[in-house]
Amino acid sequence: MGIPLSLRTIWLGMLFGLALAFVAAVAWGAGRASAPVAGTRAALTTGFDLGVARAKPAPTGTVQEFQLTAQEAPWEIAPGVRVPAITYNGQVPGPLIRVTEGDTLRVTLKNELPQATSIHWHGLHVPNAMDGVPPFTQAPIEPGQSFTYEFPASHAGTFMYHSHFNSVEQIDRGLYGPLIIDPATPPPARFDKEFTMVLSAWNTSAMPGDQHGMADGSSMPGPAASMGGMNMDYNYFTINGKAFPSAAPWTVREGDLVRVRLINISNLAHPMHLHGHDFTVVAKDGEPIRPDLQQTVNTLSIDAGETYDIVFRADNPGSWVFHCHELHHTENDGVEPGGLIQVIQYEGVPPRTTGESAPPATPTPMPATMPGMGH
């Protein structure tokens, strides 16, 4: 006996309606997944397009010349704490070298140190004779001598330059600097603010004692002669040559898109943690990361010799810190707060303080083994 026509029509209509409802539900869910709500963590993962590093950029015809002098000079790394640094042009870090992709870079180094030295262009693809690594690519630059490095700025990114002779002593005492190569064609991503952080560590107990001035006017005991190499007992940690509270705050405006170039010249790993915000990692070691592969995090461990570019949106007004989460690195000679603490201050927001002085802190002993100390 067959099903009556009227009942069969009702069933077919119900099945057709259910099918339409199912298709609509799937489409609605897919739409929500592909269109994250603005301001959510998912929205931050859409990425920032820095362009593509060119294998061989076209020459611009511009020669950018820089003069560097390697010399000993006093440098204050924390309030009242002066060290006999080894510097480029009397400053730590050395002068920013910033050129455009395709420029010819010409740097003349004059050595006024009592020891030989050289410059290595960390991360750059330079001709072998310009790599700055005695005895493999050049002879050491002896005291009183000069040497001119010349090479094309091979590709855009965040890099560094540093000594590659008696490297432990010379780098640990300040002989390094930042190097930035801008792309010849501006990338799609644009930023409102940009900051560069050169992370370094100091062992003041290994400094020549007669030159190491302390806050009370005394000298810290240390070898009387120049170091023949330094050990790993670092007790001060600096951002651009300054430990907190000497490092200048960053000032941002609500809504700013902020790019930070991180350079770790130290022999330690630094897990850098940003309070109150997330950031997106957009480049590593001078190489841009494709937007679809970029990650959004709030802590990034930067190993010795690495560089990273990160981006964050200033969308949470206040006084915030960006600091190393190896917490011994946020102390000055074992006393916190100090070291690798960067304050981020929003415009129009008064700095937040308790109005009370903190009680004197007791120095904490450095652990026998610290992350990233092996080298």
Last residue of a domain, one of 158, 182, 206: 182
3-state secondary structure 277-312: CCEEEEEECCEECCHHHCEEECEEEECCCCEEEEEE
Rounded to whole angstroms, the Cα distance separating 316 from 314 reads: 6
CB of 160 closer than 8 Å to CB of 176? yes
Rounded to whole angstroms, the Cα distance separating 54 from 5 reads: 71
Same domain, yes or no: 142 and 225: no
Could you tell me if residue 74 is inside a domain? Answer: yes
> pLDDT at position 243, please?
98
Q: Is 253 helix (H, G, I), strand (E, B) or coil?
A: coil
Tokens representing 57 are 């950029």
Pairing of strands 193-202, 257-264: parallel
pLDDT at position 71 over 80: yes
**pLDDT band at 366, cuts 50/70/90?**
low
Same domain, yes or no: 144 and 232: no
- The predicted-structure confidence for 300-351, as pLDDT tens digits, reads as follows 999 999 999 999 999 999 999 999 999 999 999 999 999 999 999 999 999 8
Could you tell me if residue 73 is inside a domain? Answer: yes
pLDDT at position 92 over 80: yes
Rounded to whole angstroms, the Cα distance separating 319 from 317 reads: 7
Same domain, yes or no: 269 and 152: no
Tokens representing 72 are 């000993």
Could you tell me if residue 367 is inside a domain? Answer: no
Q: Which of 326, 291, 331 shows the shortest CA–CA distance to 311?
A: 291
Same domain, yes or no: 198 and 176: no
Same domain, yes or no: 203 and 283: yes
* Among the ranges given (49-53, 111-115, 176-180, 214-218), the one the predictor scored with the smallest mean pLDDT: 214-218
> pLDDT at position 124, please?
95
- The predicted-structure confidence for 223-250, as pLDDT tens digits, reads as follows 433 334 445 689 999 999 999 999 999 9
Q: Which residue has the higher pLDDT, 43 or 289?
A: 289
CB of 126 closer than 8 Å to CB of 154? yes
Could you tell me if residue 107 is inside a domain? Answer: yes
Same domain, yes or no: 160 and 279: no
- The predicted-structure confidence for 246-298, as pLDDT tens digits, reads as follows 999 999 999 999 999 999 999 999 999 999 999 999 999 999 999 999 999 99
Same domain, yes or no: 239 and 338: yes
CB of 101 closer than 8 Å to CB of 181? yes
Among residues of the chain, what percentage have pLDDT more than 90? 70
CB of 99 closer than 8 Å to CB of 107? no
Residue where the block lists tokens 């040497």: 147
Same domain, yes or no: 163 and 300: no
Could you tell me if residue 128 is inside a domain? Answer: yes
Q: CB count, 10 Å around CB of 54?
A: 15
The span from the first CA to the last CA of the chain, in angstroms, equals 87
Mean pLDDT value across the chain:
84
Same domain, yes or no: 197 and 341: yes
pLDDT at position 15 over 70: no
Same domain, yes or no: 203 and 318: yes
Q: Which amino acid is at 127?
A: P
Same domain, yes or no: 114 and 175: yes
Q: 294 is in which domain, residue-wise?
A: 193-346
Total tally of structural domains belonging to the chain:
2
> pLDDT at position 373, please?
45
CATH code at position 225: 2.60.40.420
Helix, strand, coil percentages in the chain from 3-state DSSP, rounded to 5: 15, 35, 50
Same domain, yes or no: 150 and 261: no
**pLDDT band at 64, cuts 50/70/90?**
very high
Average pLDDT over residues 138-142: 98
Pairing of strands 257-264, 97-100: unpaired
Q: CB count, 10 Å around CB of 232?
A: 17
Q: Which of 316, 310, 329 shows the shortest CA–CA distance to 371?
A: 329
Rounded to whole angstroms, the Cα distance separating 120 from 128 reads: 11
Q: CB count, 10 Å around CB of 18?
A: 10
> pLDDT at position 224, please?
36
Rounded to whole angstroms, the Cα distance separating 324 from 236 reads: 13
Q: Which of 54, 161, 55, 144 shows the shortest CA–CA distance to 105?
A: 161
Residue where the block lists tokens 């430990």: 243
pLDDT at position 24 over 70: no
Could you tell me if residue 32 is inside a domain? Answer: no
**pLDDT band at 102, cuts 50/70/90?**
very high
Beta strands (DSSP E) in 16-156 are: 63-78, 81-88, 97-100, 104-111, 120-122, 146-152
CB of 299 closer than 8 Å to CB of 324? no
CB of 273 closer than 8 Å to CB of 342? no
Quick one: 189 exposed, middle or buried, by C-beta within 10 A (0-12, 13-18, 19+)? middle
pLDDT at position 54 over 60: yes
> pLDDT at position 232, please?
64
